[in-house]
A and B are shown apart, each in its own frame.
Chain A
Amino acid sequence: MSGLLRLEHLQVRLPIDGEPRTVVHDVSLDVSPGEAVAIVGESGSGKSTTLRAVARLLPPGSEVRGEVLFSGESVTAMGGRALRQLRTGGIGMVFQDARANMNPVRRVGDFLVEALVTNLGQSREEASRRVASLLQEVGIADPERRLRQYPHELSGGLLQRVMIAAVVAMEPRLILADEPTSALDVTTQAEVLALLDGLRRSRGMALLLVTHDLELAAAVCDRTAVMYAGSLVEEQRSALVHEAPLHPYTAGLIESSPHSAHGARRLPVIPGRPLSGLEVGVGCPFADRCAHVRAACRVATPPLHAVGAGSVACLRAEELLASGLEGVANGC
């Protein structure tokens, strides 16, 4: 398999109150060229940290174990020059809050051409022409005027389009998107996401999308990976996640989602409170909230293993799949 990005047992420890604490426990994942993969999880699941580890954008004092390979090269071992090269043409990152991620005292145009001029050595005029046409492509009218404006003069939706244009301009092979639309209102969300998806498809770029929204993940991505408490618990084709979830947690997420077609009078809830990666002990992290828990679940952390076309980190996965997994419904 000719993977573009490969995570092997990624473990991340972040300095919290001066002490390194494990936020991501075990994530293994492949992204092929041109493929779109989603990482879905609740806040604290470590999904954003995983993404930032790929771009090596972790705070100072962080420790990374395991391996991050980008077209066969180890990202964790990269020095300054290789790292800059990776960030220049290899990966591009779309952040959640575009406004916070753009320098407020520089013009939108400066933001867009900065990387083209600095890293690709293009002339300012050349770069300006290029970003102007890109802005039109991302649906921004009157690009010449927008380029002269400052970020505070643009709406959040427009800024996210600018951010996407900036990323696409660099023609990266992989786009990392960290909740790119959750700061926007619902109608803009769909537009911006469709835009991102269209642009990357037409240019053959791969996408690693981090989101808390299973529906959204399924709409845009070929495959979906689910994270819980710092570990990957399930990964399979997006289309199948809804029909045949492999992990009880995923099943619970689907049932408690307002989009689900169960027509229940009351939305079922997963009992208990989501754990963050910081709080994990031995055994399956989901054990305390799982309707199907057995004593064996609490002895050792279940490894991610192949089931059908996907993989799952649950001891009883095969057994539950055969009996038709229902997450929490029987618990309610």
Chain B
Amino acid sequence: MYGLVILRRAAIVLITMLVASIVIYGALYLAPGGPIAFLSSGRPLSPSALAALRHHYHLDDPFLQRYALWLWGVLHGDLGTSLVFRQGVVGLLGPRLVTTAYLLVYSGILILIVGNALGILAALREGVVSTAITTTTAIGIAVPAFITAVVLISVFAVNLGWFPVTGSGSGFFDRLHHLTLPAIALALPAIAYVARLTRAAVAEELGREHVQAAIGRGIPRRKVIYRHVVRNAMIPIVTVSGITLASLVAGTAVVETAFQVDGLGSFLISSVTNRDFPVVQAIALILVTGFILVNVIVDILYGVLDPRVREAV
């Protein structure tokens, strides 16, 4: 029974990915000018040179055939060749993917720990603590990551010199050092958002009758909070945290550009500016895949945490 559910879920994911890949490939196929505009750099080409180029890049083949060719390549680990660098996209993306994954995991951990801790604290400690957290997070949400980035660079890198201004470093600890400010910049708005929603979720659970009933049964307050309040609030918190983590995928582009970190995000931006289509397609595909996967994980966790949902599926 549960196996069937998983199969159905997997099928939906596959179909979504397929649709996403068609949209990504198709959108760039439709782009005015297409790769020719880049390859010719705006210079007029002789008809024979043009024809040769078109033939080389399979531009005259029908759409579906070209898509199938591309997809076939993708499935075999061939993401095409960069128009700008004239080398395989896979080789270009490899090290950058590692950097971006590092950054994402780093800020993801910050968000989950700090965001949830602040939210729970704000819900449980009425008064000064709660007011301070609520006010700070209200402002935190309104500060975009790239502005946090320039402030962090100005204060901690330029003036205090604690962290490097740019770059992504090599090796685990050097990377940690280089990516700390970017991870914070990426995480801050999300921390504020998660903290607010966590606060709301915990406060709502606190007011529930079964929580009062548990206190009435003489269960110590700490146990009630841990077992009934926080445990139940985890259900909405996981959803919110998941959506937030998924949206970080786009945030990496901004933060990596601000800190001149050579990752997938900043590479996407430079490739968009250079109209390096194969690279844009590949990165878009990777980011959308990541986005979909995070959502699937959230869905599964949701079922694990809430028996009522498990039943309904």
Contacts and interface: CB of A to CB of B under 8 A. Distances in A.
A and B touch in the complex (CB under 8 A): yes
Interface of A: 55, 57, 80, 83-88, 92-93, 95, 97, 100-106, 114-115, 118-119, 150, 152-153, 166, 170
Given A118-B223, A150-B307, A152-B307, A101 B210 contact: yes
B213 A102 contact: yes
B311 A152 contact: yes
Given A118-B219, A170-B217, 12 more contacts: A83-B218, A84-B218, A87-B217, A88-B217, A103-B228, A103-B231, A105-B308, A114-B217, A115-B218, A119-B217, A119-B219, A170-B218
Nearest to B213: A101
Interface string B42-58: 00000000000000000
A57 B307 contact: no
Contacts of A153: 311
Contact of B218 (A104, A105, A119, A152): A119
B60 interface: no
A92 B208 CA distance: 19
Contacts of A57: 212, 215-216
A115 B228 CA distance: 13
B217 A115 contact: yes
Contacts of A106: 227-228, 231
Nearest to A57: B216
B174 interface: no
Given A57-B212, A100-B210, A105 B231 contact: yes
A268 to B, nearest CB: 37
Contacts of B223: 118
Contact of A87 (B218, B227, B305, B307): B218
B307 A100 contact: no
Contacts of A105: 231-232, 235, 305-308
A84 B305 contact: no
Interface in B179-237: 208-210, 212-221, 223, 227-228, 231-232, 235
Contacts of B305: 105
Contacts, number: 75
A327 to B, nearest CB: 36
A114 B215 CA distance: 12
Contact of B216 (A55, A102, A118, A150): A55
Contacts of A87: 215-218
Interface in B2-47: none
A166 B216 CA distance: 12
A88 B213 CA distance: 12
A100 B311 contact: no
B209 A101 contact: yes
Nearest to B232: A105
A166 B231 contact: no
30 contacts: A57-B212, A83-B218, A84-B220, A85-B218, A86-B218, A87-B215, A87-B217, A87-B218, A92-B217, A93-B216, A101-B209, A101-B212, A101-B213, A103-B214, A103-B227, A103-B228, A104-B232, A104-B307, A105-B232, A105-B235, A106-B227, A106-B228, A114-B227, A118-B223, A119-B217, A119-B219, A150-B308, A150-B311, A153-B311, A166-B217
Residue of A80, A84, A166 most packed against chain B (CB within 10 A): A84
B265 to A, nearest CB: 37
B214 A100 contact: no
B307 A118 contact: no
Given A100-B208, A104-B308, A152-B307, A93 B219 contact: no
A-B complex: 4 closest residue pairs judged by Cβ atoms: A87-B218, A88-B218, A101-B213, A100-B209
Contacts of A86: 218
A93 B220 CA distance: 16
Contacts of B307: 104-105, 150, 152
Given A84-B218, A115-B217, A118-B219, A103 B210 contact: yes
Nearest to A83: B218
Contacts of B306: 105
Nearest to A149: B307
Given A105-B306, A152-B308, A118 B220 contact: yes
A108 B306 CA distance: 14
Interface in B258-311: 305-308, 311
Given A97-B209, A105-B231, A105-B306, A114 B219 contact: yes
Contacts of B231: 103, 105-106
A286 to B, nearest CB: 32
Contacts of B212: 57, 101
Given A103-B228, A105-B235, A152-B307, A115 B219 contact: yes
Contact of B213 (A95, A104, A170): A95
Nearest to A58: B212
A92 B215 CA distance: 11
Contacts of B219: 114-115, 118-119
Contacts of A95: 209, 213
Contacts of A118: 219-220, 223
Contacts of A84: 218, 220
B52 to A, nearest CB: 65
A166 B235 CA distance: 26
Nearest to A150: B307
Contacts of A170: 217-218
Pick the most buried of A83, A87, A103, A119: most chain B CB atoms within 10 A of its CB: A103
Contacts of B308: 104-105, 150, 152
Contact of B210 (A92, A102, A152): A102
A100 B214 CA distance: 11
B148 to A, nearest CB: 36
A104 B310 CA distance: 13
B306 to A, nearest CB: 6
